Amino acid sequence: MAKHFDTQALDRYFAAMADPTRRAVLERLTQGPASVSELHAPHAMALPSFLRHLRVLEEGGLIATEKQGRVRMARIEARPVRAAEDWLAQLRRQWETRLDRLDALSEALEQTAKGDAP
């Protein structure tokens, strides 16, 4: 691909996104930073399991957490979402370019065929 992508980062980003709980956390964090308990509240899941999901997100670089007093706050990181979106957009553009070329070729052939007709 034309653009350079950080392969290991994309591995981590996509793996982190491949889970509904982790995607829900990312969606929640688009509304602003939240504490770990706020993030956990909507999920019918034991806290240790939930914390494992947060750890995957943090180790993957998709969120950052920070202790504020006795509360751990989390916020979303912009870069992973942009990088994953860029990779997908480039993939899509590549085959759209190819399909456009095929369209142009097929039109040119049609015109030639018409020109050749009596």
Residue 24 structure tokens: 């829900």
Query: Minimum distance between the CB of residue 10 and a copy of itself, rounded to whole angstroms?
Result: 7
Site for a copy of itself in 27-66 (CB under 8 A): 27, 29-32
Cα angle: 48, vertex 50, 53; to 5 degrees: 115
Q: Is 12 left (phi over 0), alpha (psi -120 to 50) or beta?
A: alpha
Binding of a copy of itself by 15 (CB under 8 A): yes
Residue type, position 32, single letter: G
x/- site string to a copy of itself, residues 62 to 91, per CB under 8 A?
--------------x-x--xx-xx-xxx-x
CB atoms within 10 A of CB 57: 27
**Closer Cβ to a copy of itself, 94 or 111, answer by number:** 94
SS3 helix, strand, coil % of the chain, rounded to 5? 65, 10, 20
Size of the site for a copy of itself (CB under 8 A): 33
**Binding site residues, a copy of itself, CB under 8 A:** 1, 7, 10-15, 17-20, 23, 26-27, 29-32, 76, 78, 81-82, 84-85, 87-89, 91-92, 94-95, 98
